[in-house]
Amino acid sequence: MPKKFDTNPLDPEFPEKAKSAAANPVPASPYTSPSGSPYRTAEFPTTPSSVTEDETRRFEGAHLNSYAFQGGPVAQAYQPPAAFVDTRDRKVAKVGLPEKWLIALPYVPFWIGLVAGLILLLVVPKEETKVRFHAAQGLAAHLGVLIVTTILGIVGNVSNLAEIGSLIFGILATVMFVVFAIKAWQGKPILIGTVEDLTNWLEEKIGPIKS
């Protein structure tokens, strides 16, 4: 007695029908939308696109002119910075010495720098602004150190601590002047803010002696 799982659930004639359908395929009919439907399927063109270049948007002269430059400042072409010119070996007028020596002399320690700065302000013309600036600044720095050491010396007569402070200050001032002289000789910038006002005053008030 056959069980229910032994029976073939398919149509016994299905294999024959499948072979017959494969041997004689039926062409598919084109899709038509249901009656009354507002939608249509997309139709792809069977010929090349009829759109030509003439149908694309063209910019007339007026449109192009609306984007043209309408005036205003014109951007300047980039100009590279001028090459640095080292003038330290240039001889200064009325002195005959190279610039690097004249801007370093006012910073020499002790009375040498003080006297050199004063002489340069009396000799160097106003046009030599760099030399005159260092001469005035060196002279101002020496005067400042001289004033401080004088005050400490007076106080040192009363207190030994002030005498030690005067010695330490003198050593530090000497080292400072040596460093400034070397930097000036090398052409490096030097600006002593504590004597800036005195520097400007000396440079303005002490002018070259007219010959």
For residue 91, give the DSSP letter: B
- The β-bridge partners of 98 are 91
What average pLDDT does the segment 195-206 reach? 94
pLDDT at 155: 81
Integer CA distances (angstroms), 167 to 28, 122, 153, 156, 177, in order: 116, 32, 9, 10, 16
Q: In this structure, is residue 184 part of a structural domain?
A: yes
Question: In this structure, is residue 82 part of a structural domain?
Answer: no
In a domain, 39, yes or no: no
What b/e readout covers 31-43, taking b as 16+ CB neighbours within 10 angstroms?
eeeeeeeeeeeee
Residue 32 lies in a domain: no
Its pTM surpasses 0.85: no
Question: H-helix or E-strand containing 168?
Answer: helix 160-185
Structural domain count, the chain: 1
Predicted pLDDT at 13: 74
93: its two tokens: 């007028």
Residue 197 lies in a domain: yes
Q: Is residue 113 domain-resident? A: yes
Among 6-15, 125-134, 178-187, the minimum mean pLDDT is found in: 6-15
Please give the pLDDT value at position 174: 94
Amino acid at 57: R
Distance CA 19, CA 12 (A): 13
> What type of residue is 28?
A
pLDDT per residue as tens digits for the range 43-73: 555 555 555 555 555 555 555 565 555 665 6
| CA 9 distance to own-chain centroid | 86
On whether the CB atoms of residues 184 and 104 are closer than 8 A, the answer is yes
Q: Which domain holds residue 147?
A: 99-205
Query: Token pair of 171, please?
Result: 């050593």
Q: Residue with structure tokens 């030599």?
A: 128
Structural domain includes residue 35? no
Contact 179, 108 (CB under 8 A): no
Structural domain includes residue 49: no
* pLDDT, tens digit, 9 for 90 and up, residues 85-124: 567 778 887 788 899 999 999 999 989 999 999 999 999 9
Predicted local distance difference test score (pLDDT) of residue 159: 73
Q: Is the pLDDT of residue 144 over 80?
A: yes
Separation of alpha carbons 124 and 94, rounded Å:
7
